Amino acid sequence: MHILQAQPLSNSDLEELGLEWHTDTDDTPYVSNEIIEVSEQEAQGFYEAANTLYDMYVEAGQYVIDKNLFFELGIPFNLIEAIQRSWEDEVHWHLYGRFDFAGGLDGIPIKLLEFNADTPTMVYESSIIQWALLKKNGFNESLQFNSLYEALGDNFKRMITLGDDISRFESIYEGWKILFSSIAGSIEEERTIKLLEVIAKEVGFGTNFCYAHQAHLDEQNGLSFNGENYEFWFKLIPWESIAIDEPELAQLITAMIANKNTIFLNPAYTLLFQSKRMLKILWDLFPNHPLLLETSYELLEKRQVKKHAFGREGESISILDAQGNPIHTRSGDYGNYPEIYQEFATQNSHNGAFYQPNVFYAYEACALGFRKGGEILDNMSKFIAHKIK
């Protein structure tokens, strides 16, 4: 790996750009001063891998629905109808997601670790901070695989045009509005959701922001805030959290989808993609595919990683040896979800640290970024920018 040591963005620089979560709880910087150099061929490899895998996920999603495999994926029963309805009606448009990979540098093959399809983080860092770091260090900001900001704008338009031809947006757009909501108390989530609101407003949507508890949902009359109705609700709340923590809300959302008065972003069907147990379905449908790792609901006879259907920030993950004995374990709150066993992948490493590539997808692959940490990445991992050689 070729890593450049860059002049870092100061805390005041980051705050001016809107990123206030710049210091981790151990008082170390969240945004690293490292810049990973990738070749054009490596960047193209990440682009093609994400595009290929998204098509595979769509095929696997249809397979799960046709075969009624929701239980196998750990899908809460009270969201199955919402998933089915959102899958069947193309107006429920998937705005964006983020693939997490191993490899992709120095000849190490790209392997899918998981797909964060519902509420992926790192939007702000990937779309804003990478550019600023390159600019501060005198590099050409265009020397990145990074069009996330523009891709999100185009994909907002596709929620109306429902296809490639976004030039039709202005002629068919009828003043629909999007209400953006996050949970109160998280500045990272609030800034992320407000960035998405800015992008939607720039391309022509009417928008507003409120905290999730301030939005009013009605089975018959749809979504409103302060007496104004909205056709779309972008809620930065994981679908599985809604199903388990707020079952009445899950029931209400399902009714609103059935009554076709509100479109929810990201759609309910992204919970299929979000489930790590989908990795086993992919392996069944595409055995030995070069982008996949062997994955099973049972222990493998090789070094492996034990995950659970849902989970975030490296919680409830264990690295096991070929006999199933733990080598490295991180506790967490997700152990009650059904487990999955995935073949251990060779990762990009340098000076004892591991560098995970993350590729955003918004209608197509559109941005690369990296996280640096241990073999199990957690909420202390660092964001790393990249530059094309």
**Model confidence pLDDT, tens digit, residues 202-213:** 999 999 999 999
Helix, strand and coil content of the chain, in percent to the nearest 5, comes to: 35, 25, 40
Angle of helix 80-88 relative to helix 247-258, nearest 10 degrees, comes to 30
Mean pLDDT, rounded, of the chain: 95
- Can the peptide bond before residue 266 be classed as cis, meaning omega within 30 degrees of 0? yes
The pLDDT value recorded for residue 331 is 86
According to DSSP, the residues that pair with 216 across neighbouring strands are 224
What's the whole-number mean pLDDT along residues 377-381?
A: 88
Radius of gyration of the CA atoms of the chain, in A: 20
**Phi-psi group of 162: left, alpha or beta (phi > 0 → left; psi -120 to 50 → alpha; rest → beta):** left
pLDDT band at 333 (very low <50, low <70, confident <90, very high): confident
Can you give the pLDDT at residue 347?
Answer: 94
pLDDT, residue 312, reads 84
**Whose CA is closest to 383, among 127, 192, 143, 194?**
127
Rounded Cα distance, 47 and 57, in Å: 16
pLDDT at 327: 95
Residue showing tokens 């970024």: 369
Higher pLDDT, 332 or 222: 222
User: 23-51: per-residue pLDDT in tens?
Assistant: 898 899 999 999 999 999 999 999 999 99
Return all residues near 238 (Cβ < 8 A) that are at least 6 apart: 118, 119, 274, 310, 312
Residue 314 — pLDDT band, cuts 50, 70, 90?
confident
Model pLDDT, residue 313 = 84
Model confidence at 19, pLDDT cuts 50, 70, 90, reads confident
Distance (Å, whole) CA 273 – CA 95:
13
The more confidently predicted of residues 136 and 313 is 136
pLDDT tens profile 66-115: 999 999 999 999 999 999 999 999 999 999 999 999 999 999 999 999 99
Q: What's the pTM value of the predicted model, to 2 decimals?
A: 0.96
At residue 247 the predicted structure's pLDDT band, cuts being 50, 70 and 90, is very high
pLDDT at 163: 87
- Indicate the pLDDT class of residue 120, thresholds 50, 70 and 90: confident
